[in-house]
Amino acid sequence: MTETGDKIRLDLWLWYARFFKTRSLASKVCKAHKVRVNGEHSKKASTTITPGDVLTFPQGPHVRVVKVLACGERRGPATEAQALYEDLSPIEEQVKAKREEAKTAPALREAGSGRPTKAERRAIDKLMDR
């Protein structure tokens, strides 16, 4: 199951590096064409990657860009997994960008303030038996 040397399957490496909880989740993301290897969409989970490749993939609400440093031998502890890659897009920057975006986005109206919406007006009419 484990490939030794300079090459490894994409889904296996994503699982080893602890980006996904199970190998099947990593495989699903790969099969959905959501992973890019060196800028090109990966069409299957069995795509072979080598150290030096740059991977781009979604992880939750964030887009991760990582450079493969080593292939890995097993799914070890987090410290071992972090040695397999170099993070090229820190999540802190993405979180900061989302906060800035949220500040400039139009504010949503709090419930019960201002004029009632159409749904609220209908609920009031139903309550008053109109």
Q: Are strands 62-68 and 48-49 parallel, antiparallel or unpaired?
A: unpaired
> pLDDT for 67-124, tens place per residue?
999 999 999 999 999 999 998 987 777 778 778 777 776 667 676 678 888 998 999 9
Where do the domains of the chain lie, and which CATH numbers do they carry? 1-90 (3.10.290.10)
> pLDDT for 11-35, tens place per residue?
999 999 999 999 999 999 999 999 9
Is the pTM higher than 0.75? The answer reads no
- pLDDT averaged over every residue in the chain: 87
Give the phi and the psi of residue 112 in degrees, each rounded to 5: 90, 0
> CA-CA distance, 126 to 123, in Å (whole number)?
5
Residue pair 68/50 in contact (Cβ under 8 Å)? The answer is yes
